[in-house]
């Protein structure tokens, strides 16, 4: 029995060491492809679009401008809810589940501008052909694992619009 427990422990240690090396490869690919920076840039752009949409709706519906403090609070919510660190491990796992070690190495080398040997071009094409599927899996993962800010935003905006001082300010401005 002692030998089998030792064998089991050795197997578990070896398995965890292999898994750690594989996740390092996925994280290396994420760093080489600059996904974190792209993710953060997209989050900022989407947040700006959301705030612009809210501002337009409030301006048209209530004939008031959304205050800067509300815009900042909305932006802070999205910055926190969609912080890259919240999704990095899950996205690395998606890469690990869908790319072979060789494909990850090939893509990492490509992103690091180390070039591709002509013999690897078919493998490179097969790897990048998975891009659309990985993009969808990633979007699904982010959606399933994010808190979102819509309820927060709505409560904030409705609270602002319900403020009785807002009506008196609009009346004074009209006079």
Q: Tens of pLDDT along 116-145?
A: 888 999 999 999 999 999 999 999 999 999
- pLDDT for 2 equals 47
- pLDDT for 170 equals 53
Q: What is the mean pLDDT of residues 91-116?
A: 92
DSSP 98-113: HS-HHHHHHHHHHHTT
pTM, two decimals, is 0.76
H or E stretch covering 93: helix 84-98
Q: Tens of pLDDT along 74-97?
A: 999 999 999 999 999 999 999 999
């Amino acid at each position: 029995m002692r030998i089998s427990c030792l064998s089991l422990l050795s197997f578990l240690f070896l398995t965890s060491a292999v898994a750690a090396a594989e996740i390092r490869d996925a994280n290396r690919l994420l760093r080489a492809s600059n996904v974190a920076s792209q993710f953060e840039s997209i989050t900022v752009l989407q947040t700006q679009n959301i705030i612009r949409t809210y501002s337009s709706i409030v301006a048209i519906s209530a004939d008031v401008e959304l205050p800067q403090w509300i815009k900042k609070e909305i932006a802070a919510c999205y910055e926190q809810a969609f912080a890259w660190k919240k999704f990095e491990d899950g996205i690395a796992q998606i890469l690990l589940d869908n790319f072979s070690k060789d494909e990850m190495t090939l893509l990492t080398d490509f992103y690091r501008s180390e070039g591709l040997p002509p013999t690897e071009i078919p493998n490179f094409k097969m790897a990048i052909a998975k891009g659309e599927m990985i993009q969808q899996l990633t979007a699904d993962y982010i959606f399933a694992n994010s808190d979102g800010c819509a309820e927060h935003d709505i409560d904030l905006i409705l609270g602002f619009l319900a403020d009785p001082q807002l009506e008196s300010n609009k009346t004074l401005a009209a006079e």
